[in-house]
Structure 1
Amino acid sequence: MKRARIVYKGAVHCVVEHEGKIKLPDGQIVSEHEVEWLPPVTPKTIFALGLNYADHATELDFKAPSEPLVFLKGMNTLLGHRGQTKRPSDATFMHYECELVVVIGKKARHVKKDEAYEYIEGYTIANDYAIRDYLENYYRPNLRVKNRDTCTPIGPWVVDAADIENPMNLTLRTYVNGQLTQEGSTKDMVFDIPFLIEYLSSFMTLNAGDIILTGTPKGAVDTKVGDEVITEIEGIGRLVNAIVSDVGGE
């Protein structure tokens, strides 16, 4: 099952996918263009991975890390499907990052790898933009790079974990204005999903609704105002986003 959160006629609804359209709680069927899409999750904690694909690390002239490079993000960053991401007026290099997102389904503490999938509710897509102009250290992304308002579109759907046979073998693609610019596979993660859940839960509690952004493969290119960026993951869907001007800059 695919689930989402939307605004329709001034009210927020939790909805499901039905034959490519949206089914409201009262059974009414509407199209995706008739609603405002919200982030499909409201996590307490947002975890994100840096350099979790070796090819992406290489394109940034770094070696793959020996331990997960994890940082935290704020709820202010999240943006729904078909939302607009603001590009700072002084930015010279702002790129997308197509990422598989793990949604935690229940409290997790000291979870072992072979039990990790039992703690997953589902999966969604994030496009975690980075403004490289502001980067101080690739290994510790600073706030201006990864915690900017509107810079993490997510959704549209959360797909139930039971409906994804193997999350570690999914194709990721990004299109800018219809042109394929990024393609990779989750099988190439440096640290796979079970490892990440074991690692994080070894020193802190993961709660239901928390999310883990698992990193992006190589292929990051600059985006400009007016670009339409589509990030898609096999079996999960397509996340559409537009780049607009941030007239006020910082």
Structure 2
Amino acid sequence: MKLVQFMMNTGKIRLGVLKGDKVIDLNSHANWVPNNLVEFLHEHESAEKLLNEMSSSPENLSYSLSQVHLLPPIKKPDKILGVALNYRDFCEQNNLAPPKEPIVFSKFASTIIGPYDRIRHPKSSKAVDWEVELVAVIGKVARDVKAEDAFEYIFGYTATQDLTAKDWMQRNGGQFLLCKNMDHFCPLGPYVVTKDEIPDPHNLNLKTWVNGELMQNGNTSDLIFKIDHLVEHLSGVMTLLPGDIICTGTPAGVGSTKKPPTFLKPGDVLESEVQYVGRLKNLVVN
């Protein structure tokens, strides 16, 4: 099942299920249904089963994809958690030793934009880099979860570009807060795919194209810390809430490693894809 948040010409956010090229509007007749996925996950522990039942109702209205504007499928999570240096090939390309435990940073919800929205290039940076990532979406409250139980707490997956202002990373002593949290630095989507549709989250291809040129071509099998390990590690420190997202890291091929280094500029078209999860396409603008 593919969950989307979308908007019609009314300007109201709606929650839907994508079936083929049709968007099933879950808010079209049931007034008790929240119009966002985070709230739905908070209210219903058996969210997947209920959403599946609701999407089959003959009372639902549906629209073609061409009639709607897809929004980020997760809009205001309590937490956006990123993991740095989590691919072996990325560490090798940057001549860095693989970390002994996850290097975790946070992003703010204000960075999130939709899968086809424009990325506003910040005036304050001249080195905006791309980083395609698989994102795990938490489905229920998770605290002190063991790795062997971790996938019980995963609702599904989506894709992101964890954009990074590499010049701000250097000027701030290597800290991640400012370089990761500029406006529009988290394109997300195009939908959340429930975990039952992903054969193996640790064997997914990830790709980035800039103006049609392939820049990143990796696979989640190269993850240093797998998703179950990340859930155990993070939930041992803080309570993970429904709708929280874990950005699991990026493979080799970012712009800062090219010779000479290459970064995003206004006019560039950034495309990002995670196998079985979906593809984003974002235009960079002034």
TM-score tier after normalising by the smaller chain length: over 0.9
5 Å matches for 1:1-250? 1-9=1-9, 10-25=11-26, 26-32=60-66, 34-41=67-74, 42-136=76-170, 141-221=175-255, 222-245=263-286
Structure 1 residue aligned with 2:47? none
Deviation at 1:139, TM superposition (A): 9.0
Distance 2:91 2:203 in 1: 20
| Paired residues of 2:122 and 2:183 also in contact (CA < 8 A) | no
Residues 36-94 of structure 1: per-residue CA shift (max 9 Å, x gap): 32221131011000111122123333221111000111101111111111212353321
CA radius of gyration, larger in: 2
- Greater percentage in helix: 2
Q: CA deviation at 1:144?
A: 2.2
Unaligned runs of 5+ in 1: 246-250
CA distance in 1, matches of 2:92, 2:101: 16
The root-mean-square deviation of aligned C-alpha atoms, in Å, is: 1.7
**Unaligned ranges ≥5, structure 2:** 27-59, 256-262
- Which amino acid in the other structure matches residue 184 of structure 2? T
In structure 2, the partner of 1:248 is none
Return the structure number with greater strand share: 1
Name the CA distance, whole Å, in 2 between partners of 1:66 and 1:24: 45
Aligned to 1:115, what secondary structure does the other structure show? helix
Q: How many residues align?
A: 244
CA distance in 2, matches of 1:137, 1:65: 22
Distance 1:204 1:137, change over 3 A: farther
Cα shift at 1:138? 9.5
Distance in 2, matches of 1:8 and 1:88, equals 29
- 1:89-120 deviations in whole A, cap 9, x for unaligned? 35332111100000000011111111111100
Give TM-score, length-normalised by structure 1: 0.92
Query: Residue type of the partner of 2:180?
Result: K
Fraction of identical pairs, as percent: 39
**Cα pair 1:49 1:213 within 8 Å, conserved:** yes
